Structure 1
Amino acid sequence: MTDLTAETTRSDVTSIEEAIAAYRTELTGYCYRMLGSSFDAEDAVQETMVRAWKSFDKFEGRSSVRSWLYRIATNVCLTALEGRNRRARPMDLGGPGVPEVSQLGEPRGEATWLQPMPDALVVPEDGDPAELAVARESIRLAFLAALQHLPPKQRAVLILREVLQWSAAEAADLLGTTVAGVNSALQRARATMADLDTDRGDVLAEQDQELLDRYADAFQRYDIEAMVALLHEDAVLSMPPYPLWLTGVEHIRTWWVGPGAGCAGSRLVPVRVNGLPGYCQYRRSAEGDGHDAWAVQVLELREGKIVGFTSFLDVASWFPLFGLPLRLEEGEPDPVPAPRLPEVRPRSLLADPADEIAE
């Protein structure tokens, strides 16, 4: 991993770019945990990179580049969270409903909801297995929803200390506070999190792959009984941006047989999303000549059953995030998901980096 020191010159553009690129994935993960939004996280990292480029002359090398970038990213996120409501899952906004289209409710705006995120954009490809496991668990939807209940600075402390394993002294230095202040904030954050459901679902085990294969086969055949047999008794189904959510096997069965019956004949492309198994669902087009993007499904598993089933329906946003097309033609093979990070720097910087840095 490239690092920078005080001796690195402003004209050493290649080294700066390499350093920024080296931390891009973990910074995106940090901002995503802070903000709960894929696109807000992307914007926050982009802003972090721009600020880093423009203020590099003030970087004296007393801390690592990693710490310096995290300090900038934290300030960007704290500013972004000012005056904002917490993002939520449908289950956070009210009680369960009944499986009728009339109960869907009006779709709520993008800012209401937690958003899905491909693992590949926020979890490093390699590293210590224990650290990678924590990285995946800390982007699960239940954990992210719980984080949203914390005040922004408590949220930053919890992520820095318990997810990224920073010391209290390191976190205090980054946040401009004391070790005692960090420890106090962490204690309050832990107390809040302990009262919330952050553990909905088990860590994916090797034997769960058989369950996922059975689910994908049953869903693509739209075999309702086979699908229902895979559900945990207290399974939950939700469909952002609609506030309706359902719980229990019978309500979910009724939905799949009734309003959800249009999913018959769908194709599923497996993805890794929010540290969980998932599928990008293509539903058969009305003309019957292909399949159109319909939903990103995120599955939560417990005790060898599906306990959570979330379908994110804003496909125009989510499918490109996974590097997938919005349509599959008849007979076309399944595409391979290829999530891609945006450019390390905005094109304005790429065009003439020296001019931008000199501002």
Structure 2
Amino acid sequence: MTDTRTGDLDRARDGDDEAFTRLVGSLRRELHAHCYRMLGSTHDADDALQDALLRAWRGLAGFESRSSLRSWLYTVATRTCLDAVEARGRRALPVDLGPASARAVLGDVPLDGVAWLGPYPGGELPRAHPAARYEQREAIELAFVAALQHLPGNQRAALLLVEVLGFPPAEIAEIMATSTASVNSALQRARAIVARKAPDHSQQRTLRKLGDARLREIVTGYSAALERGDVDGLVALLTEDVTWSMPPLPHWYRGLDAVTDFAARVPLGSCGSWRTAAVTANGQAAVGQYLDGRAWAITVLTLRGARISELTSFLGAGHFAAFGLPARMGS
């Protein structure tokens, strides 16, 4: 630890909250991403990080510098998230709850009583530890975070701390107050489940192959088709097995016929006028969608090659502020 950080640590232990803020400032973004991966919600991640930092501030006198400050903060954040997982359970997407609908469901209404997975703004995160299996951006992708939700809290934490953050199992055993054998057992089970639930290829690999220019064309094409009400233009961008889901609406669609029927009858047929703003969500291409000028949905685009294989539209104006988007868009 540098002299400056040592000085801030001493001052923070003496009650200097500004020194504590400086100490944790560079780690906030990665700790927040860790909380999101654990909890599947940006809002829950906000709360968990705030709670974790408050716990760390109150417990700083007990930090003995035997481990790094980063490791200690991850210990506090992970235990905070495990408490939240135990209290709230896992988050879901519509595809987790039932089969796809073959035709558009008109008048679909939000399903109460379900904790829904949410989008994560951006995706620019610190480089992964050399021992980590996943890149930081890969580990924020929607499919990966959705797969994590199928794991119990202890397995979720073990997988993230080893595969994403590069902590050794023995150190994780200390973080989780368990044995190294238990950590390795949890890891084995977690890897098997994620291998079944997550896709073989990451979006980061796809995006690198496409390049920025081609990616912009796809996003622009989607936005233009939506704004023009152009069903044929939208369908031309999709894979044959495309899916479209819209949490918190329970119904979802799989395959070109079903998605075309839905697109033609609902968003492009009966909703109103659309405006869009390109953003990044979960390290993927995404679009903020405004219906008649009002914030409506953040739609995350999952690509296979140069076509869209999944559209996940997170409905609700409450998602927009985290992406730096206004609640309304003028004409």
Normalising by structure 2, we get a TM-score of 0.88
Could you tell me how far apart the structure 2 residues matched to 1:281 and 1:129 are? 36
Could you tell me how far apart the structure 1 residues matched to 2:270 and 2:166 are? 46
Per-residue deviation at 1:181?
Answer: 2.4
Note the 1:21-32 alignment, pairs <5 A.
21-32=25-36
Could you tell me how far apart the structure 2 residues matched to 1:327 and 1:100 are? 28
Q: Percent of pairs identical after alignment? A: 41
Could you tell me how far apart the structure 1 residues matched to 2:251 and 2:192 are? 29
In the alignment, structure 1 residue 225 sits paired with structure 2 residue 232: yes
Could you tell me how far apart the structure 1 residues matched to 2:177 and 2:273 are? 56
Name the stretch that deviates more: 54-63 or 271-280: 54-63
The answer for the alignment partner of 2:154 in structure 1 is 153
In the alignment, structure 1 residue 268 sits paired with structure 2 residue 276: yes
Unaligned ranges ≥5, structure 1: 285-290, 331-359
Per-residue CA shift, 1:31-72, capped at 9, x if unaligned? 111111111111000001111111111222211111111111
The answer for the alignment partner of 1:214 in structure 2 is 221
Could you tell me how far apart the structure 1 residues matched to 2:243 and 2:107 are? 16
Identify the match of residue 302 of structure 1 among 301, 304, 308. Answer: 304
Per-residue CA shift, 1:97-126, capped at 9, x if unaligned? 13333473x412375210111025xx43x6
Per-residue deviation at 1:228?
Answer: 0.3
Per-residue deviation at 1:92?
Answer: 0.6
Could you tell me how far apart the structure 1 residues matched to 2:113 and 2:142 are? 16
Runs of 4+ in structure 1 off by over 6 angstroms are 128-133
Per-residue CA shift, 1:166-197, capped at 9, x if unaligned? 12222222222333322221111111212223
Per-residue CA shift, 1:191-220, capped at 9, x if unaligned? 121222344764313033322222222222
Distance verdict in 2 for CA 1:201–1:212, change over 3 Å: farther
Identify the match of residue 58 of structure 2 among 54, 60, 72. Answer: 54
Note the 1:272-291 alignment, pairs <5 A.
272-284=280-292, 291=293
Normalising by structure 1, we get a TM-score of 0.82
Note the 1:25-40 alignment, pairs <5 A.
25-40=29-44
Could you tell me how far apart the structure 2 residues matched to 1:156 and 1:135 are? 15
In the alignment, structure 1 residue 258 sits paired with structure 2 residue 262: no
Identify the match of residue 86 of structure 1 among 83, 90, 108. Answer: 90
The answer for the alignment partner of 1:349 in structure 2 is none
Note the 1:55-204 alignment, pairs <5 A.
55-102=59-106, 104=108, 106-109=109-112, 111-119=114-122, 123-124=124-125, 127=127, 134-199=135-200, 202-203=203-204, 204=207
Unaligned ranges ≥5, structure 2: none
Count the aligned residue pairs. 319
The answer for the alignment partner of 1:41 in structure 2 is 45
Distance verdict in 2 for CA 1:212–1:60, change over 3 Å: same
Could you tell me how far apart the structure 1 residues matched to 2:21 and 2:137 are? 27
2:278 maps to amino acid: P
Conserved in 1, the CA contact under 8 Å of 2:127 and 2:136? no
1:280 maps to amino acid: G
Conserved in 1, the CA contact under 8 Å of 2:275 and 2:329? no
The answer for the alignment partner of 2:325 in structure 1 is 324
